[in-house]
Chain A
Amino acid sequence: MSEAKKRIPVVDYLVLEGDPHLVAQACTSCGALFFDRRNACARCGKVEFERKALATTGTVRSFTIVHRAAPNVPVPYVSSVIELDGGGVVKGNIVDAGSDAEKFELGMKVRLTTFACGLDEEGTEAVAFGFTPV
């Protein structure tokens, strides 16, 4: 069997190794969570952070079904705001669940999943995260 295909997370707060999950920069002073690089904490102003692995389960706090999108973005798709169990609020698509508004309930339970979202000329696959109903 040939060497496994090279994969890269689409954003650096997605960890693919082991059970895929998200990591946050957690403020060591107040515990606020951030997915991007921060110079100081937006909540308390302190400057020290530590990496924190977040839960892979959560609930749907909000969603929209996008029918008109930027060029090259396949529609329709479901964008959602997910509250992860134990902390962290993140935006991602709800995948493998169709796009009928009636199927989506606010407050429904979801679990993190991953999917391929692009390929570069060297054959490296970009991998994104999304959520599926539990």
Chain B
Amino acid sequence: MAGDAWIIGASMTKFGRYPDKDSIDLASEAALAAMDDAGATIHDIQILAAGSLMEASNMLGQRLQKQIGQTGIPVYNVANACATGATAVRTGIMAIKAGEADMALAVGVEQMGKMGLLGSAGQARSAPKGFEPSGRYGSVMSVEGVLGTQLMPGVFAQAGMDYASRHDGVGFEQFAKVAEKNHAHSALNPLAQYRKVFSLEEVMEAAMVAYPNTLLMCCPTGDGAASVVLCSDAKLKTLDPDVRRRAVKISASVLTSDPYVESDTAQPDVSTLTKRAAATAYEQAGVSPQDLDLVELHDCFATAELIHYENLQLCEPGGAGDFIDRRGPWRDGAIPVNVSGGLISKGHPIGATGVANLYEVATHLRGEAGDRQIEGARVGLTHVIGLGSACGVHVLERAAS
């Protein structure tokens, strides 16, 4: 059995809009900064995992190497919907655990620009010459808006309302409180795409996108990159004392897909695979939810964050509404959630998100998070979910000092 894997370098670009840069610029910036942070160079790196939902099929990793160093090491180009970044990191972890590499570089990047609504069926509809059934459903036209919605704001709205249908005390206001919190948290994060505080009323009165998600309850599109340098136990022992002191242990790395549930026929179930990933991660790490000092979870929409309180066991079963009502996930609450501002305000450049999560938690565990530092943080959890579905959960711990 291989030992632990460690994060010894971490970085992220500020999330936002970079019309004058390309994905390779952003990925290079993050990768070079992560290696610098680790006191490493490209010549120390034995495997590169490069995640980008839209560029993974285009040899992103190898194009990145042209900018940061072509050393001939194995490169994995990774795509796994919104779990892309976490999957790239996990690719590096697996190589270390398998003994194939003792130092790995993982990068996640996305340049989305102003894409607007994401989903499977955003195309315009026009009168066809003759209806012809096609595809696995024998559909004769785009059914978006005809047979419900498959666009992201509506899918996650329905995931939240499904939870509300089974539990008391969950409604529009509870979902809106999630966004109120994450906007407030983002004001402290200089790397966030947006840093504006909104009142609960402003959140609830913002333009409705898909009830109960208003515009301020939906993550923006944007650009950005994040990167981590990973190493093995054995390698860590040989490194500079300052690198060792700042090293962050990866105590659990879990990836799940969605097991069959009856309601898959309507839309993907984002809860079951998250519950499974969390349970496995707690077992792997030997920690309980009560041990967590902070959590970065996948709040692509406010409705999603609320149901993940329960999926990640941050609250009692059925108690997600009560948890936010009690301000449990605020930065001064029982278990701070998304102190970075989350996807809702920090931003969500898809491939970067799952790496930026790890950057955020690692930075707190190192005590280097500045104004937003959670004091004395020792253990943190990251979670991402890609619809379709893939879920990545990592548990990180501060090095014993």
Interface residues, chain A, with chain B CB atoms under 8 Å away: 8-13, 24, 32-37, 42-43, 60-77, 79-82, 87-93, 101, 106-107, 117-122, 124, 126, 128-130
Chain A residues with CB under 8 A of B211: 64-67, 101
Given A107-B165, A117-B141, A120-B127, check contact A32 B262 (CB 8 Å): yes
Decide: B263 and A61 in contact? CB cutoff 8 A: yes
**What is the distance, in angstroms, from A34's C-beta to the closest C-beta of chain B?**
6
In the complex the two chains form, what is the Cα distance from A65 to B157 in whole Å?
Answer: 9
- Whether B2 is near chain A, meaning CB under 8 Å from some CB there, is no
Chain B residues with CB under 8 A of A88: 265
- Residue ID in chain A nearest B172 by CB atoms: A101
Decide: B263 and A89 in contact? CB cutoff 8 A: yes
Q: Given A43-B260, A66-B210, list of 5 further CB < 8 A pairs? A: A11-B133, A13-B138, A64-B212, A81-B266, A91-B266
Decide: B210 and A64 in contact? CB cutoff 8 A: yes
Chain A residues with CB under 8 A of B157: 64
Interface residues, chain B, with chain A CB atoms under 8 Å away: 117, 119, 121-131, 133, 136-151, 153-154, 157-159, 161-162, 164-165, 172, 207-213, 260, 262-267
Q: Could you pull out 25 A-B pairs where Cβ atoms are within 8 angstroms?
A: A8-B131, A10-B143, A11-B140, A12-B139, A36-B136, A61-B263, A64-B149, A66-B151, A67-B207, A68-B117, A68-B208, A68-B209, A69-B151, A70-B119, A72-B124, A73-B125, A82-B266, A87-B262, A88-B265, A90-B266, A91-B148, A106-B161, A106-B165, A120-B128, A120-B131
In the complex the two chains form, what is the Cα distance from A106 to B211 in whole Å?
Answer: 14
Chain A residues with CB under 8 A of B158: 62-64, 79-81
In the complex the two chains form, what is the Cα distance from A79 to B265 in whole Å?
Answer: 15
Decide: B133 and A12 in contact? CB cutoff 8 A: yes
Chain B residues with CB under 8 A of A10: 139-141, 143, 146-147
Decide: A67 and B208 in contact? CB cutoff 8 A: yes
Given A62-B159, A68-B209, check contact A117 B263 (CB 8 Å): no
In the complex the two chains form, what is the Cα distance from A51 to B352 in whole Å?
Answer: 44
Decide: B148 and A93 in contact? CB cutoff 8 A: yes
